[in-house]
Structure 1
Amino acid sequence: MTKEYYRGNRERLYAGMKDGSILVLFSGSPVRKTNDEFYPFYTNRNFLYLTGLDQQELALIACKDQGGAVIEKAYILPPDLMAERWTGERIKPQEAADVSGIEDIAFVSSFEADLHRLCTCGRYERIYLDLFRVSTADRDEPAHMLLRRMGSDYPFISVENANILIRRLRTIKQPCELEAMRRAEEITCAGITSMMKASKPGMYEYQYKAVFDYALGQYGPQGPGFPSIISAGKNNFCIHYYSYKGQALDGDMVLNDVGAWHDHMMTDVSRGWPCNGRFNERQKLLYNMALDTSNHMFSIIKPGMKMADVDGESHRYCAELMKDAGLLDDVKNIGKYMWHGGAHHVGYDVHDVVETLEVIAPNMVFCVDIGIYHEEFGIGFRLEDNCLVTETGCENLSAMTPRTIEALEDMMRKDFTAF
């Protein structure tokens, strides 16, 4: 992504803000794991979307005056030779300006004084903070800490939620974002097909994961975009499975729900195959139902379709197939075999935080996720692809990763070789 991209994102955000307002965003702080160890830092996605600055303890302040003019300043960590010796080089002012397109770069030591001056100068009536939470039990982010202070220190400043505006921007993907996603799809395909070629009875789930991680490692240091779900046999019936301790026995299906990222954009792709490389009749029956359902969805998704119908129609269509095959007595009982929804947005997050529109629009990207879990047969898998909505229909961005039984079996006959 270029600085023009980040500058454009901010300008679109500023256009949605009310005059006489301040915007404050934070990159986030590392989470302590144990004693003196922290979890790997993961920059707040909205901050990254607006600045491109990928480092901890950074901040952005932007002020929109009553005439609509905006001034902005980014705050970075100061040079610290000892700290950088331990944890790596900190971004420099010119580097921050070159990446973000923000000309005014200061050190975080001046953040509090600048914010106090702006809040008390009398020119601003409100402040925008990114106040997103998935759950009320989530730990406080810097924005939530500042929110509590605003009530006591600056009660005359009203608070607006910037997250509402930013998620609206992230709903529709831009050309450079789609280009990055296409590259991420290629990398994801390399990881999945490597697992297919390495697959054999007796392999442990952690060995499949090692193959996937190794393949992705040939394309850069970022690795998977999210924790990989890789399971076999009975473990396929745990939808979000991360143990990697199971073993794929002869005849077991291998399930994976994985994705790479490139230039901050993620993919989310699922494939399932028998570890021995040959589908049995029951596996063929269920897999072709998932494939037919997926192909049906890609044939009907287009602008103007209701987003809720992606889930609804995929379940309805698959239920009819199962009823015709004698697996269901009533299509209303599809929940016995389809346990989760069939669509979620993808982008900066694997479950992208966007505005949920009632109808589909061009340049949305979301998953078409067909999961079938037949416990009596011992078969569980999902077929998940990334759908780009076009002006007249849609495109399967992950179609390059083998989807048909013939393509899967053909790929598994190939030898896995180290890069």
Structure 2
Amino acid sequence: MYKMNRKNLFNHMENQSFACFFSGTSPVRTADQTYPFEVNKNFFYLTGIKEENVALVMIKGANMEKSFLFIEKTDPVTALWVGETMSMEEAKAISMVDEVFERKDFRTVLSKFLQDSRQAVFGALNALYLDLDRRSMDALETESDRFGNEMRNLYPNLVIASLHPKLGELRSVKHTHEVKMMQEAIEVTRLGIEALMSNAKAGIREYQLEAYYHFVLNSNGVTTSFNTIAASGKNATILHYEKNNAVIQDNDLILFDLGVRKNEYCSDISRTFPVSGKFTERQKAYYELVLETNKKSIEMLKPGVTFQEFNEFGKKILAEGLVKMGKIKDVSEVSKYYYHSLGHFLGLDVHDVGNYTKPFEKGQVITVEPGLYIADEAIGIRIEDNILLTDNGHVNLSESIIKEVKDIENFMSKK
């Protein structure tokens, strides 16, 4: 799969060019501690390697395409503290690159590729592609930024361009293996949600209930794909509530927005349920409106639908429902109680890369997550599923995670 991903990217590179990608390193947290390492997802997509400080070079020369990895060689002393790093043989077997070098030789080898003496092999390399993604003018420099600046100074005739947008479009269409990883992540998410419903009770704190979810993940050898949102009562009207420290009350609804990462692929699911095991009539009325929006929005999803059409479709159902309930007088007031988009791409990142200006395509995975946030009634509801687009429609990858009122109440009555 990784070799195929590089082949697809080569198709978007000019002849006589090369591209460099970096896996990244862990930033310092404090003193001699670092943050947990998170591999650059574009690098992983092209190599399948999750090691720190690894570089990939792809060269499109004279009638040939070659890929090279540069990895850290295991240091015997460091290995005593943190274990051995991946061997060259392992890296080559996973990534299927043409050759693997030591990371310390990166600049030496690359300079040889750029010398006149190598032109008989690759031809003159005139362009450099990097993974450049600056979110703001104040954003910190990445390794790609620093490398690009260095290459501008050393080789001023090189044309430097970014492959980040193209990688986003390629990544948004999933291989069968990628869908399998996401499906497995969703299955563990289901088990975790069922553990939450089985152990929900008033009087405990949100983080105490959340702990049952993390136990399931730890038992299955996976991690969260983002910080879990465990929001009871009025807290559920805060979209990214993460304190998770309030005492859960008996009549509360509790909203869980959570996910699993399996071999770097993510799930992103939201479910809302009554702590007591039974919805009040008012809670049920709001819940059924969000559920209707969720189900109808899933049904309209197929290749060719635009992100704008998708968003407007779900928003219209919520708005008309609130008017019918008497909560608002006009559909234009819906933003008082619904203030986010209906979904996003999902994959190696929770909010995954992709082109939101283009119509949806077969193979993309999209979240469908309508919600209502009624602060004056201490009710927050979101119901989120992960949907794979197929030739003429879709498959709900999270269909096994219950969301009907009767199914939730029946499940919780057995705890």
Q: Same fold (TM over 0.5)?
A: yes
- In the superposition, the TM-score normalised over structure 1's length comes to 0.95
Q: Which moved more, 1:13-22 or 1:144-153?
A: 144-153
Return closer, same or farther for 1:414/1:119 CA change in 2, 3 Å cut-off: farther
Deviations 1:59-117 (A, max 9, x none): 011110143x1121101101201112212220001110111111311110100112223
Measure, in 2, the Cα distance between the counterparts of 1:226 and 1:369.
16
Deviation at 1:56, TM superposition (A): 0.6
| SS across alignment from 1:376 | helix
Residues 388, 395 of structure 2: 8 Å contact kept: yes
1:216 paired to 2:212:
no
1:402 aligns with 402
Q: State the partner residue of 1:97.
A: 92
User: Which residue, 90, 108, 115 being the options, matches 1:113?
Assistant: 108
Counterpart for residue 164 of structure 2:
163
Within 1, Cα distance between the matches of 2:154 and 2:236? 52
Could you tell me which residue of structure 2 aligns to residue 141 of structure 1? 142
State the shift of 1:120 in Å: 4.2
- What's the CA shift for 1:203? 2.0
User: Aligned ranges for residues 172-191 of structure 1 at < 5 Å?
Assistant: 172-191=173-192
Contact 1:298 1:395 in 2 (8 A): no
Matches within 5 A, 1:213-292: 213-220=214-221, 222-292=222-292
Any idea what SS the aligned residue of 1:395 has?
A: strand
- Looking at structure 2, the residues matched to 186 and 213 of structure 1 have their Cα atoms a distance apart, in angstroms, of 14
Matched, 1:81 2:81: no
- Check conservation: 1:119, 1:154, Cα contact below 8 A: no
- Which 5+ residue runs of structure 2 have no aligned equivalent? none
Aligned residue for 1:20?
16
Q: Structure 2 counterpart of 1:58, which letter?
A: V
Counterparts of 1:251 and 1:320, CA distance in 2: 27
Question: Residue in 2 aligned with 1:65?
Answer: 61
Q: Which moved more, 1:241-250 or 1:42-51?
A: 241-250
CA distance in 2 between partners of 1:249 and 1:332 (Å): 33
**Residue type at the aligned position of 1:218:** S
Equivalent pair of 2:297/2:310 in contact (CA under 8 Å): yes
1:298-317 to 2 correspondence within 5 Å? 298-317=298-317
Output the CA distance in 1 between the equivalents of 2:98 and 2:16.
Answer: 22
Which 5+ residue runs of structure 1 have no aligned equivalent?
none
Give me the TM-score of the superposition, normalised by structure 2.
Answer: 0.96
Indicate the percent of aligned positions where both proteins have the same amino acid.
30
Answer yes or no: is the 8 Å Cα contact 1:257–1:269 preserved in 2.
yes
For residues 41 and 312 of structure 2, what CA distance do their matches in structure 1 show?
30
Q: 1:225 and 1:265 mapped to 2: Cα distance? A: 8
CA contact (8 A) 2:223 2:262 kept: no
**Mapped contact 1:323–1:329 kept (Cα < 8 A):** yes
Q: Does 1:341 align with 2:336?
A: no
Q: RMSD of the alignment, in Å? A: 1.3
* Deviation of the 1:151 alpha carbon: 2.1
